[in-house]
């Protein structure tokens, strides 16, 4: 091959190689740019969906709090995760005082599991006083919190003084083990749910909202409230 021609070929190869590399890099940059733009668009679309879901969740939660004028803090007392027995004892003392009854022989049982994740603890005691007041006292537990039921009642009367041995069941529940997804849908309250919550919001709360251990002894003497 002619030396001059060989030199010209070598002179052209180098620029062509540089040009080819530049074109390849340009193609890669364009492809990467398109992919980045598409990914950004997809992420924006996802973010818009999440924002819409969060907005709906906020509106749903706000509507729940508006539905309950008294707030939702009482829900932690309806089925308390802790302090259920203390809440129950507090209500027993309040209702006995309101009905002018003497309270004695208070005993508490262990917390035992119930169905559907509920737990139950029993409180047994005796009250003494006017018969009508005892009936009112027992009836009062149908509208107090935490939720409780009258399990057993035994009446006795001596020399015009009425006595009743009562066992109440106090119900409680653990807090949820898992926190719902932030972007998950909020289950709408039905009219039945709303009516139930409104009814519960009118129930009588204990005189404290945080369980406080009472170091005194219930019913020393005939008046347990001094």
Better pLDDT: 152 or 26: 152
> What percent of the chain has pLDDT above 70?
67
Asked if residue 105 has pLDDT above 80, the reply is yes
> pLDDT tens-digit profile of 161-213?
899 999 999 999 887 777 666 666 666 667 787 787 778 877 888 886 544 44
CA 154 remoteness from chain centre: 37
Q: Is the pLDDT of residue 221 over 50?
A: no
Q: Per-residue pLDDT for 99 more than 90?
A: yes
Report how far residue 67's alpha carbon sits from residue 108's, in angstroms, rounded to the nearest whole number.
36
Instruction: Specify the pLDDT at position 44.
Output: 76
* 43 & 120 share domain: no
pTM over 0.75: no
The more confident residue out of 2 and 201 is 201
Are 110 and 62 within one domain? Answer: no
Tokens of 214: 């009472």
| pLDDT score, position 216 | 39
Q: Are residues 23 and 96 in the same domain?
A: no
Do 54 and 157 belong together in one domain? Answer: no
**pLDDT above 90 as % of the chain:** 30
Task: Tell whether 20 and 107 lie within a shared domain.
Answer: no
SS3 179: coil
Q: How many domains does the chain have?
A: 2
Does residue 158 form part of some domain?
A: yes
Do 62 and 94 share a structural domain? Answer: no
User: What pLDDT digit, counting tens, does each position of 23-54 carry?
Assistant: 777 777 777 777 776 777 777 777 667 677 66
Domain extent for 36: 1-67
Q: Pick the last residue of a domain from 67, 91, 110.
A: 67
- Is residue 188 domain-shared with residue 80, that is, in the same domain? yes
Cα–Cα distance list, 192 to 28, 58, 86 (Å): 61, 22, 30
End position of a domain, from candidates 42, 67, 92? 67
Range 62-78 average pLDDT:
63
Return phi, psi of residue 165, to 5°.
Answer: -95, 125
């Amino acid at each position: 091959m002619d030396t001059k021609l060989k030199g010209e070929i070598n002179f052209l190869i180098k620029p062509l190689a540089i040009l080819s590399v530049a074109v390849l890099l340009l193609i890669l940059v364009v492809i990467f740019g398109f992919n980045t733009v598409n990914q950004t668009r997809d992420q924006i679309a996802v973010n818009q969906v999440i924002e819409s879901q969060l907005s709906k969740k906020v509106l749903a939660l706000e509507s729940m709090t508006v539905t309950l004028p008294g707030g939702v803090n009482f829900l932690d007392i309806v089925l308390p995760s802790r302090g259920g027995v203390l809440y129950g004892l507090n209500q027993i003392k309040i209702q006995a005082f309101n009905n002018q009854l003497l309270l004695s022989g208070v005993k508490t049982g262990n917390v035992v599991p119930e169905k559907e994740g509920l737990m139950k603890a029993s409180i047994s005691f005796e009250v003494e006083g006017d018969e009508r007041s005892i009936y009112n006292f027992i009836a009062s537990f149908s509208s107090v919190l935490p939720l409780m039921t009258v399990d057993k009642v035994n009446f006795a009367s001596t020399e015009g003084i009425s006595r009743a041995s009562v066992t109440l069941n106090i119900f409680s529940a653990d807090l949820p083990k898992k926190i719902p997804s932030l972007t998950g849908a909020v289950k709408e309250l039905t009219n039945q749910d709303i009516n139930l919550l409104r009814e519960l919001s009118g129930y009588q709360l204990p005189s404290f909202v945080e369980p406080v251990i009472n170091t005194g002894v219930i019913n020393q003497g005939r008046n347990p409230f001094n």
